[in-house]
Structure 1
């Protein structure tokens, strides 16, 4: 899988920076016919819109909320809506729970951490002008260039997709919806369960070739200056409930930049399909059995990245195919 898509897809799971971090709406710069084509693509398939759903089957009940992983004050009404649902749940299911986060932190401090490369450093792999550009972007995000030089290119691609201001908010300890739900569940003694192992994303990105990783990093550098605008645009769509449109805008921007890194439209479409399978569809498929098993113990709340819920291969459609009745709550 190529890191080429990371620059466009990672912000889909982040929240917009607020206050001093505001960006601009990228859609406003698109021609009306281009916007219409993207919206038409997003409308194909079930459940293209919505953040909060309920699935029921034979007396079992699952509430599903699509989340973003960085802080935003506009979550407050949704948190209020979720409070009684969480209080009545037998478990909260998330992508990564406290145990998985602890495993990740412990692994990061060990030799051979999955975010660090054992091969040549990036100054050795990139032309000097690209390395200097990368070093400047890393510095703006609080990552020392000497440390970034040893990191995996795919990991840096995801870092460049997040604006410097957003990273400052995280460093101040501000939390996204997932973390706030986890904290609330733990305070109430409600079980928190992870839907996948802590190293899932590392394994998926680890399947890339060196060439794919460097290509992805170059695209990330091309887009790094627009991180605020990208995230602002995608997050506005999130709070409007237009979730599938987030993917389609990312795909459109990927196609737009493809020629600058020597990729054809066909190659980009192939990579988009592969990224969809690896980052979303395959993981969705793996989550269905754990969700159904948890629901046999009582009502459960599932909180996962919003893009996992929507579309023909989303969690909602997969549950519906197994006989669950789906209703939208927002």
Structure 2
């Protein structure tokens, strides 16, 4: 079944009923067709993101946090009622027309960079784990330089390989879901009350989240915000890249293993998990939705350093405990940045370019992937 048709059928199921099963099938289908997981980060702070829950998920922007967090699926996540999606604006069915004829839609610019050291080339694309159909026009889903880089690269490297994505939901359930209602007892009473009030319009979600550990509950809240912003997981960058890449090549690898990605969350202390969830609840849902849209706009412009600066200011504003908040960023973003670069250098070889696609929030700033590549002797230029 073509990816587009499968996505439309899954979307209809989610819209019309059977939300829990639809989310499970949706995640399985995305894995089988090579789509990346939703950003579990807002998991890495962009990873705001994801959309299959147990981010109800990698969508995840990494929503605002999606760009940097891993794209982990949330198992059996109840869909938010359509009435709870303020500001949802379905994309137009066509790009529109003018007096002179149809308007030719242009792909999003996206953060795209070329890193070279001698005859070794690494192409780096900053992704969002969710997106809008308008980001990827059917006639040309990516800019010409990006398509050219894909065609020139024997290897496409994502955060996780497609094979790892196939089993990811089982691990998320194993480490993020309790057999009994555990979340109320793991949170301070004021924080639990705040979360319950946030989800009072969705009793099914409130009932499901009671069995989640705080880090997974945080991803669920972020995922709802991504959905409310009108973004869709099937239009995440990784899924669209694979649709283009596997037609002519097919060698797709992961920059980290599923256990490594899971440890970014399961290794968080209870204080760190509480801080993650508390940050998601500082603002109103409408404010969180606006942040998702702002991140999406910045990503479309394609400046990695501007995205990193915006995220740093946002983290400063939302942090309840600066020390703990910084430790979360180290665990979920910066430690992974170093792992990504080490893996890139193992894959890359002279005259054999590698195309790397990772959450956009991993790229910019003094601890970002681009700066780490410069420290390894690469010349990095905007593509």
TM-score by length of 2: 0.64
1:63 aligns to what? 123
Deviation per residue, 1:93-127 (Å, 9 max, x gap): 11012111012034346xxx111146862234457
Answer yes or no: is the 8 Å Cα contact 1:50–1:328 preserved in 2: no
Answer yes or no: is the 8 Å Cα contact 1:21–1:228 preserved in 2: no
Secondary structure of 1:161 counterpart: helix
1:253–1:285 distance in 2 versus 1, CA, 3 Å:
closer
Q: What are the within-5 Å matches in structure 2 for residues 160-309 of structure 1?
A: 160-164=221-225, 166=227, 174-223=234-283, 225=285, 226-258=287-319, 263=321, 268=322, 270-296=323-349, 298-309=352-363
Answer yes or no: is the 8 Å Cα contact 1:162–1:228 preserved in 2: no
1:135–1:245 distance in 2 versus 1, CA, 3 Å:
same
Aligned length: 288
Unaligned runs of 5+ in 2: 1-39, 50-59, 65-84, 90-108
2:381 aligns to what? 327
Shift in Å, 1:238: 1.8
Unaligned runs of 5+ in 1: 23-48
Shift in Å, 1:294: 2.1
Secondary structure of 2:271 counterpart: helix
Shift in Å, 1:63: 1.1
Are positions 1:87 and 2:148 aligned together? no
Shift in Å, 1:310: 1.5
More relative contact order in 1 or in 2 (CA 8 Å, sep 6+)? 1
1:142–1:192 distance in 2 versus 1, CA, 3 Å:
farther
Answer yes or no: is the 8 Å Cα contact 1:115–1:152 preserved in 2: yes
Shift in Å, 1:189: 3.1
1:130–1:192 distance in 2 versus 1, CA, 3 Å:
same
Are positions 1:315 and 2:375 aligned together? no
2:183 aligns to what? 122
1:254–1:294 distance in 2 versus 1, CA, 3 Å:
closer
1:167–1:89 distance in 2 versus 1, CA, 3 Å:
farther
Answer yes or no: is the 8 Å Cα contact 2:129–2:233 preserved in 1: no
TM-score by length of 1: 0.73
1:288–1:142 distance in 2 versus 1, CA, 3 Å:
farther
Shift in Å, 1:86: 1.3
Shift in Å, 1:202: 2.5
1:25 aligns to what? none
2:219 aligns to what? 158
1:4–1:55 distance in 2 versus 1, CA, 3 Å:
closer
Are positions 1:97 and 2:161 aligned together? yes
Shift in Å, 1:74: 2.2
**Distance in 2 between residues matched to 1:244 and 1:162, nearest whole Å:** 24
Indicate the structure with greater helix content.
Answer: 1
Q: Give the alignment's Cα RMSD to 1 decimal.
A: 3.6
